[in-house]
Amino acid sequence: MDFNMKKLASDAGIFFTRAVQFTEEKFGQAEKTELDAHFENLLARADSTKNWTEKILRQTEVLLQPNPRPRWQFLANSARVEEFLYEKLDRKVPSRVTNGELLAQYMSEAANELGPETPYGKTLIKVGETEKRLGAAERDFIHSASINFLTPLRNFLEGDWRTISKERRILQNRRLDLDACKARLKKAKAAEAKAAAVPDFQETRPRNYILSASASALWSDEVDKAEQELRVAQTEFDRQAEVTRLLLEGISSTHVNHLRCLQEFVESQATYYAQCYRHMLDLQKQLGRFPGTFVGNTEPASSPLSSASLATAAATIPVMPTVAGMPSAGEAAISLDDVALPASGTRKARVLYDYEAADSSELALLADELITVYSLPGMDPDWLIGERGNRKGKVPVTYLELLS
């Protein structure tokens, strides 16, 4: 290999000069060029952005793919390594079965083996179908979050931040060169002043006058050379500082981009949880129709997610006063066609999601439509009476937004 010895020696000399300057600064034996306060604030904000982006990225990955128990740690690590390799090779990661879908498969196989016509088998099938839907929703959420949130964060750390770090290292080297030139010029001026000092005519020989004049001229040339090197170093430092400043100011654009990605992540997460909530409500409703599904539990099932809201709704929904001759709770079921709309005490409600009536006592709903709702004595707090035109029926509270 053909080495350029002159360039190699020059680079080694520059590296040695920078190392000496850096060491003397650490021991307080050399002056250091300080950056302005605005520049220091930009550096601090960039460092904070990088550190918090790394933490948010790692924790989001944990959220989307939680760390399993030690028994499954190896498999999880293998999956993450596989995803990393596919990403580096710019290849599409093959779809992987989610935990919900795998649970659905086990439940379906168990139902077929234990008897699909038994109450337990029927329940396994229904729960398995819901778990499969939940798994599909989870996979869509993970895919959306990875593209819209994780990928932009990784691109910043692996792209923009690496560029910023590279330019900051160059700026640090330019500063060390500048300070080394300042120190060299200071030493040259001190030596020139010493050489130019007038010698003692009585104690100094004539030969020393010649040597003193020669040394003074040499140091004068050295000062000129040091001043020229200082001007070049100052120019290079100023140019590199401007480049680094522009990159650091670009962090504001990074924040705007990450804000948009964060909003998309929240929307994806909200959609995912809404889908899960609807699937579980439908499953709860289906299981309530199976005889013997909840043996020993005669209380109506209510969603844990809506317990607080139902308590508020129960306090604000008007209750139709008891009419003489009307059956009470525990007696024969109330015929909805015989119930007249109360003159007062009704409320309007907006439908949040589509709802398919399970039987003739319920009212089918369409998202965003407005209906009139009220409560009857002894009704399940999870349900209200809804009316739309000439049709009426029971409607679930969780599908409604009560209007004032």
Q: What is the 3-state secondary structure (H, E, C) of 29-92?
A: CCCCCCCCHHHHHHHHHHHHHHHHHHHHHHHHHHHHCCCCCHHHHHHHHHHHHHHHHHHHCCCC
pLDDT at res. 71: 42
pLDDT at res. 1: 44
pLDDT at res. 85: 62
pLDDT at res. 239: 95
What's the token pair of residue 4? 């350029």
pLDDT at res. 20: 75
Rg (CA), the chain: 39
What's the token pair of residue 250? 């670009």
Cα 194 from Cα 198, distance rounded (Å): 9
What's the token pair of residue 338? 């015989």
Q: What are phi and psi of 52, to 5 degrees?
A: -70, -30
pLDDT at res. 261: 95
**Topology of 11-198+215-289 in CATH?**
Substrate Binding Domain Of Dnak; Chain:A; Domain 2 (1.20.1270)
Q: What are phi and psi of 288, to 5 degrees?
A: -65, -20
What's the token pair of residue 402? 């009560």
CB 392 within 8 A of CB 312: no
Q: Quick one: which of 151, 158, 101 has its CA closest to 265?
A: 151
The C-alpha angle with vertex 23 and arms to 19 and 27, in degrees rounded to 5, equals: 170
pLDDT at res. 324: 42
Cα 123 from Cα 108, distance rounded (Å): 10
Only one residue has tokens 């029971």, namely: 394
Cα 77 from Cα 134, distance rounded (Å): 24
pLDDT at res. 52: 96
Start-to-end CA distance of the chain, whole Å, equals: 84
CB 126 within 8 A of CB 287: yes
Domain 346-403 has CATH 2.60.40.2310: no
Identity of residue 250: G
pLDDT at res. 379: 85
pLDDT tens over the chain, length 404 residues: 455 666 666 667 677 777 777 777 777 767 778 889 999 999 999 999 999 999 999 999 988 876 544 444 444 455 555 565 656 666 665 667 788 889 999 999 999 999 988 889 989 999 999 999 999 999 999 999 999 999 999 999 999 999 999 999 999 999 888 888 888 888 888 887 887 765 544 445 555 554 555 666 777 888 888 899 899 999 999 999 999 999 999 999 999 999 999 999 999 999 999 999 999 999 988 887 654 444 334 344 444 444 444 444 444 555 444 444 444 433 334 455 555 555 446 889 999 888 888 888 999 999 889 999 998 888 888 889 999 988 999 999 888 988 86
Q: Which letter does DSSP use for residue 365 in this model?
A: B
Q: Quick one: which of 376, 389, 380 has its CA closest to 338?
A: 376
What's the token pair of residue 226? 């040091």
Q: Quick one: which of 222, 233, 139 has its CA closest to 177?
A: 233
CB-CB neighbours of 179 under 10 Å? 21
pLDDT at res. 194: 80
CB 394 within 8 A of CB 383: yes
CA atoms within 13 A on the CB side of 246: 7
Cα 128 from Cα 279, distance rounded (Å): 12
CB-CB neighbours of 81 under 10 Å? 10
CB 284 within 8 A of CB 303: yes
pLDDT at res. 79: 55
The length of the chain in residues reads 404
Going from N- to C-terminal start, the domains of the chain cover: 11-198+215-289, 346-403
Do the domains spanning 11-198+215-289 and 346-403 agree at the CATH topology level? no
CB-CB neighbours of 385 under 10 Å? 24
CA atoms within 13 A on the CB side of 355: 27
Q: Quick one: which of 253, 257, 246 has its CA closest to 168?
A: 246
Q: What are phi and psi of 225, to 5 degrees?
A: -65, -40
What's the token pair of residue 239? 């140019």
Identity of residue 196: A
pLDDT at res. 200: 47
Only one residue has tokens 């090197």, namely: 229
pLDDT at res. 277: 94
Which residues lie closer than 8 Å to 395 by C-beta, 6 or more apart? 355, 362, 363, 365, 371, 373, 383, 384, 385, 386
